[in-house]
Structure 1
Amino acid sequence: MKETFIPSKLELKKQWYIIDAKDKCLGRLATEVANLLRGKKKVIFTPAQDVGDCIIIINADKIFVSGKKRTQKLYFRHSGRPGGKTIEKFEDLQLRIPERILEKAIKGMLPKNRLGRKLFTKLKIYKGQEHPHISQKPQIIEL
């Protein structure tokens, strides 16, 4: 009879990583970040536990999309009020809130439950080079 592997607290050491999003493809970057947040590349990966690392993404305003997505991709949101639907193009959202584009792409690749919400809190996205997480001593990752 096999038992379920559950990593101990000593094995769940969190590492901080910095990823520069400048000239990176949106979807490919989002899948790599989602896998790092879940901890899928670790040997102690357990689907029902948070074994992933913390991720800092900088230069979110310089993300790259292929084809005509810059003018054709649409983002929907609704305020909950009658007539409160807002549709925004990729290029408009990138000028206004560039972090939101990456957040929506990565959040869609995480589990849709309590674990996914907990994993999403470990993601920090900034549109420029500066970030306030220097004291965590993050490692730079090239994807």
Structure 2
Amino acid sequence: MHKTYVPKEIEPKWVLVDAQGKTLGRLASEIAKILRGKHRPEYTPNMLSGDFVVVINAEKVHLTGNKLQQKTYTRYSGYPSGLKRIPVAEMLKRHPERVLQHAVKGMLPKGPLGRRMLKRLKIYAGAQHPHAAQKPEPIELEVK
């Protein structure tokens, strides 16, 4: 009989990703893959096996087609006439990091494990970040 290998504890690394000129959805799927740990040989779906991801230049992310004018984010307060719709162009001006966070969140598993994975994502609008002490390793993603 074969036994299943289950790693005891996986030491996370810190990864630095530059979002300048990258397409939003393709970048988000690569970041979600790193957060889940699917790039590691010891990937386990029910464990927190991914790395920390620091994203810089989130304000310079690229959207294809007419998404800049047509795509909206919708939320509802629960009260009558409490539906709020915010166009992605306005969200990129106000909070550019939320656009990428929303895209990555939709690609992670739902539940407590997915919420813990999302906490490992650090997004910054500009080129500066406060995680220099962790020495994040800059990687180049194969994203157009």
TM-score (normalised: structure 1): 0.95
Distance 2:102 2:117 in 1: 14
CA-atom RMSD in angstroms: 1.0
Does the residue aligned with 1:108 lie in a helix, a strand or coil? helix
Report the counterpart of residue 113 of structure 2 in structure 1. 115
Distance 1:122 1:4 in 2: 27
Amino acid at match of 2:4: T
Distance 2:74 2:118 in 1: 20
Report the counterpart of residue 89 of structure 2 in structure 1. 91
Report the counterpart of residue 57 of structure 2 in structure 1. 59
Does the residue aligned with 2:107 lie in a helix, a strand or coil? coil
Report the counterpart of residue 71 of structure 1 in structure 2. 69
Distance 1:26 1:15 in 2: 23
- Contact 1:39 1:52 (C-alpha < 8 Å) held by counterparts: yes
Match of 1:103 among 95, 101, 107: 101
Report the counterpart of residue 3 of structure 1 in structure 2. 3
Q: Alpha-carbon deviation of 1:113?
A: 1.1
Q: What percent of counterpart residues are identical?
A: 46
Gap runs ≥5 in structure 2: none
Distance 1:97 1:29 in 2: 18
Cα displacement string for residues 24-81 of structure 1 (whole angstroms, at most 9, x for unaligned residues): 0001000000000000011100110011000000111110011111101111112233
Cα displacement string for residues 75-107 of structure 1 (whole angstroms, at most 9, x for unaligned residues): 111223332211011111100111111011000
- Contact 1:5 1:46 (C-alpha < 8 Å) held by counterparts: no
Amino acid at match of 1:4: T
Does the residue aligned with 1:65 lie in a helix, a strand or coil? coil
Gap runs ≥5 in structure 1: none
Report the counterpart of residue 28 of structure 2 in structure 1. 30
TM-score (normalised: structure 2): 0.94
Instruction: List 4+ stretches of structure 1 deviating above 6 A.
Output: none
- Contact 1:56 1:124 (C-alpha < 8 Å) held by counterparts: yes
